[in-house]
Structure 1
């Protein structure tokens, strides 16, 4: 039997079903002209199937390849002028730190009061990023890891949906879901360079133990070759669509095996919390856009508490300043990772001493 045949046989039927279901969901949303159709459609169909106990299984093993494509795609948005803007962005990054602190404080208090969560669980559920780290450290200090993971997963889903709705319905922007960067024509040489960025960048990211290594490695390398002028190419549209469908199925598939009642409760709490976080981001965007010399829309996309990979796709789909937004989301992730093992762990230790009981 050929290697290809063996590889196909090794793909579980449940994963094949999930990918097919996700593709159908994306196509349906695209036909209905809904915002971010390929990602949100895949996410919605997979999530509903999981709740209905359809035997779906998220293709998690494909995630490194998916995020590598997105990383290369993001790098395509960097130019030789990017670093000329870094001094201007430093003030915006400082305000982003304040935004993160405000969002976490307000939402953490909401989870304790309205969600009746234990403070440790609320603390790590309220952080807008670093899902794995928040789960691990939160669990170490007695938090409910299932609640933390589910709240973060719901946050990512809801932020994407709400941002897409806001830009499409309220602001009237085109949110087609296909990044403008992928609309140009790339030569075989361009594609070869981009492929090398994905492979070498992933290996380097893993070797350097970067956060999200198969995403950041390709993104940094792709940004470098674009800023050096070696290529102006970007991944083709069909590959961008595939990446969105796979990512949507992976996010939706995280709810497999979770009781619908628990999911609905998590989504209810997370919906209110997400509105609070976005309200803070919108308020800062309106207040600071003159000082930061950016449009309110740009600042909102940069300050929105979505996942690094997912928000990168959203910004690409909206034709936003990729470098500005990606830099801010990367900064937010690094900020949260840097305080997760020190400041947050110290706060969790204090909370554990005062509230020893575990979550129900």
Structure 2
């Protein structure tokens, strides 16, 4: 991307960020759960539909992903190793969930929406937006439709999870919000560890060509620091709020440049597949709560087919089994990419 084009993107992203911040502030004022993320996502999504001059900025997400990665790593302590072995029933069930939900969504998109085979198949996969777009394009699918379907799925999952949790468990997601941690609680040594984990993790992630290197690399470095007891820093709530705003803004802006009619059509189509995905996830969560020591809300969040960064931030914001959610979503992405890659070698019907 040329410097001129980068310059042309920045004002539109600045406007999107301003709209997202206002949306987050409004949702916070009225007491909505996940207020900064949902408010930013909703406000910029509406701005995109109304064709306001908003647009995402590719360079905004990687550094924010690194911040999120370090935050996630800080949730892993020595106790995590003791409990990971108890999660194997959930990971086995996760593979079954992916198979069942992918088949049902593919049938829905092929038979009811009349999508072509490759587009339906790669739009139905519950995860790995960039990977599904690339694989789908190689197999002759409509990459724009695949990208919009996955963006819509993430949008609808993040928007629909809090009320679904309330409906199923009767719990108020807003009541589970983690206590506010002021910036002043982070000392200079903590800041040094925080920034060092970002720098080292990003470098390792890119060097080792990890999937989502800007998120997973810093997460692994932060995880190692907290496992070994080298540091015990926690990320201030203000930083988490900024991460939610930027992430919500980038999700909402994925609809920019698309006609209102097509956005509404994709949202309606994606709503059907999202209902299938969340419905199957809920059934698995209700069954698994008797097999593992994780509340049904945490299992539902771990199986919910949103993005890794988005679902991890939801877990952080709602103080829900963060390490379990992160491990589950990393496993989900790996399973989806591997499974879709293997199936795509065969002719898609």
Partner of 2:200: 200
SS at match of 1:232: coil
Partner of 1:102: 100
1:95-149 per-position Cα deviation (integer Å, ceiling 9, x unaligned): 1000111111111111111111112111100001111111111111111111100
Match of 1:67 among 65, 68, 85: 65
Partner of 1:122: 120
- What is the RMSD of the two structures over their aligned residues, measured on CA atoms? 1.8
Q: 1:193 to 1:108 in 2, by over 3 A?
A: same
**1:69: how far off?**
0.9
**1:292: how far off?**
2.1
Instruction: Measure, in 1, the Cα distance between the counterparts of 2:300 and 2:107.
Output: 23
Q: 1:224 to 1:182 in 2, by over 3 A?
A: farther
**1:165: how far off?**
1.9
Query: If the length of structure 2 is used for normalisation, what is the TM-score?
Result: 0.93
Q: Please tell me whether residue 15 in structure 1 is matched to residue 16 in structure 2.
A: no
Q: 1:52 to 1:176 in 2, by over 3 A?
A: farther
Q: Is the 8 A contact 2:182 2:238 kept in 1?
A: no
Partner of 2:4: none
**1:172: how far off?**
2.6
Q: 1:265 to 1:114 in 2, by over 3 A?
A: same
Partner of 1:174: 173
SS at match of 1:61: coil
Instruction: Measure, in 1, the Cα distance between the counterparts of 2:176 and 2:245.
Output: 10
**1:179: how far off?**
4.9
Instruction: Measure, in 2, the Cα distance between the counterparts of 1:66 and 1:306.
Output: 17
Q: Is the 8 A contact 2:129 2:150 kept in 1?
A: yes
Partner of 1:345: 344
Instruction: Measure, in 1, the Cα distance between the counterparts of 2:175 and 2:317.
Output: 6
Q: 1:290 to 1:27 in 2, by over 3 A?
A: same
Q: How does 1:201-350 map to 2 (within 5 A)?
A: 201-341=201-341, 343-347=342-346, 349-350=347-348
Q: Is the 8 A contact 1:178 1:241 kept in 2?
A: no
Partner of 2:44: 46
Runs of 4+ in 1 over 6 A off after TM superposition: none
Partner of 1:187: 187
1:194-252 per-position Cα deviation (integer Å, ceiling 9, x unaligned): 11111110111011111100000011111110111111112211111111101111111
SS at match of 2:229: coil
SS at match of 1:211: coil
Instruction: Measure, in 2, the Cα distance between the counterparts of 1:313 and 1:175.
Output: 14
Instruction: Measure, in 1, the Cα distance between the counterparts of 2:204 and 2:313.
Output: 22
Stretches of structure 1 lacking an aligned partner (at least 5 in a row): 1-8, 352-360
Task: State the aligned residue count.
Answer: 341
Partner of 1:83: 81
Q: 1:176 to 1:296 in 2, by over 3 A?
A: closer
Q: 1:51 to 1:176 in 2, by over 3 A?
A: farther
